Amino acid sequence: MMQTSNNDGRVADAVREHWADRLLPRAARGYARLARLERPIGWWLLLLPGWWAIALAQTASGGGMANLWYLVLFFIGAVVMRGAGCTFNDIVDRDFDAAVARTRSRPIPSGQVSVGQAKAFMIVLSLTGFLVLMQFNWFAVGLGVLSLATVAIYPFMKRFTYWPQVFLGIAFNWGALLGWAAVRGELELPAILMYLGGISWTLAYDTIYAHQDKEDDLAIGIKSTALKFGAATPKWLTLFFALTFILLFASGFFAGAGIIFYTGLAAAALHAAWQLARLDVDDPDRCLMLFRSNRNFGLIIFAGIMIDSLVRLPL
């Protein structure tokens, strides 16, 4: 029997009093929860590498304001494709979700949405995302279609490897390749370095996130970097953040970025140091707070790239 959730169906780790839980018609709330509208951190983390790439590609093209229409399209695409990906993940993981305290309130295991309804919703979101993708050049369109393979693979990896966060990073940072391709019509070294830096960043923030579920994951046989690293997690996070900065530094260097870009990276490094100083892997609430704070980490980097492209102060 499916378990019912508390708080009028609200999911355990949702933002409290989010508009999607308060203002949407009751019949729509289960679908909004499938798309994680009341947990916006996910689409922020999907969106930001794409925004980084659009802005840095503008730098490489001589500077100036990044294409605002592309930024808007990436925002829409991130929201709907994150929703489609999460719906697919929830369909695949519905039995596991029912066995984990934090996830049994999700729409499918709690009975708010049936599997058939979830599949139909996923198709609608995917078609919307495809319409957004068709606004770009054909090279970017082909690259976007390839990303579907990464989305399809990720939900299964936690069954086979302690490194599912690598596969999440491969999927979640595809926007770094797509954003660059949308502006430049090709893939170049700065985009690839940014993509790799984003994967390293994902390893950091999603390891923090995974520490919320480590006891349940251990009990039901789910694997994660949180279980693999255990008490050594702070050392691994330091490594991942360091790799992130090295790769993003190199990306900016080869794109011709100026001093404001590197100032933004330095500010983001201070944010990463704050995360490491505040980390307590045995405090789920602290882990969730730090995980969510990575939106600000990514926005700091984005602001540095944008301002640098506008002002163009050389090193």
The pLDDT of residue 168 is above 90: yes
Q: Give mean pLDDT, residues 291-305.
A: 98
Alpha-carbon gap, residue 21 to 191, rounded angstroms: 37
**Residue 4 in domain:** no
Sequence letter at residue 260: I
Domain count for the chain: 1
**Residue 14 in domain:** no
**Residue 12 in domain:** no
- What average pLDDT does the chain have? 90
**Residue 51 in domain:** yes
**Residue 218 in domain:** yes
Please tell me the predicted confidence (pLDDT) of residue 13.
62
Q: Which residue has the higher pLDDT, 166 or 12?
A: 166
Please tell me the predicted confidence (pLDDT) of residue 9.
66
Question: Of 255, 266, 263, 112, which Cα lies nearest the Cα of 192?
Answer: 255
Structure tokens at 313: 């102060």
Alpha-carbon gap, residue 157 to 163, rounded angstroms: 8
The pLDDT of residue 310 is above 60: yes
**Residue 9 in domain:** no
Question: For the CA atoms of 220, 226, 228, 230, what is the dihedral angle to 10 degrees?
Answer: -110
pLDDT digits (tens, 9 = 90+) for 226-280: 999 999 999 999 999 999 999 999 999 999 999 999 999 999 999 999 999 999 9
Please tell me the predicted confidence (pLDDT) of residue 2.
35
**Residue 235 in domain:** yes
| CATH code assigned at 254 | 1.10.357.140
Residue 244, domain extent = 19-311
Q: With helix as H, strand as E and coil as C, how does 237-295 read?
A: HHHHHHHHHHHHHHHHHHHCCCHHHHHHHHHHHHHHHHHHHHCCCCCHHHHHHHHHCHH
Chain center to CA of 98? 23
Alpha-carbon gap, residue 109 to 95, rounded angstroms: 7
**Residue 101 in domain:** yes
Q: Give mean pLDDT, residues 1-8.
A: 42
Lowest mean pLDDT among 79-93, 187-201, 234-248, 285-299: 79-93
Please tell me the predicted confidence (pLDDT) of residue 12.
64
pLDDT digits (tens, 9 = 90+) for 6-45: 446 666 666 676 776 777 788 888 888 888 888 899 999 9
DSSP 128: H
Helix/strand/coil for 226: helix
Alpha-carbon gap, residue 206 to 25, rounded angstroms: 32
**Residue % of the chain over a pLDDT of 90:** 69
CB 240 within 8 A of CB 228: no
CB 132 within 8 A of CB 76: yes
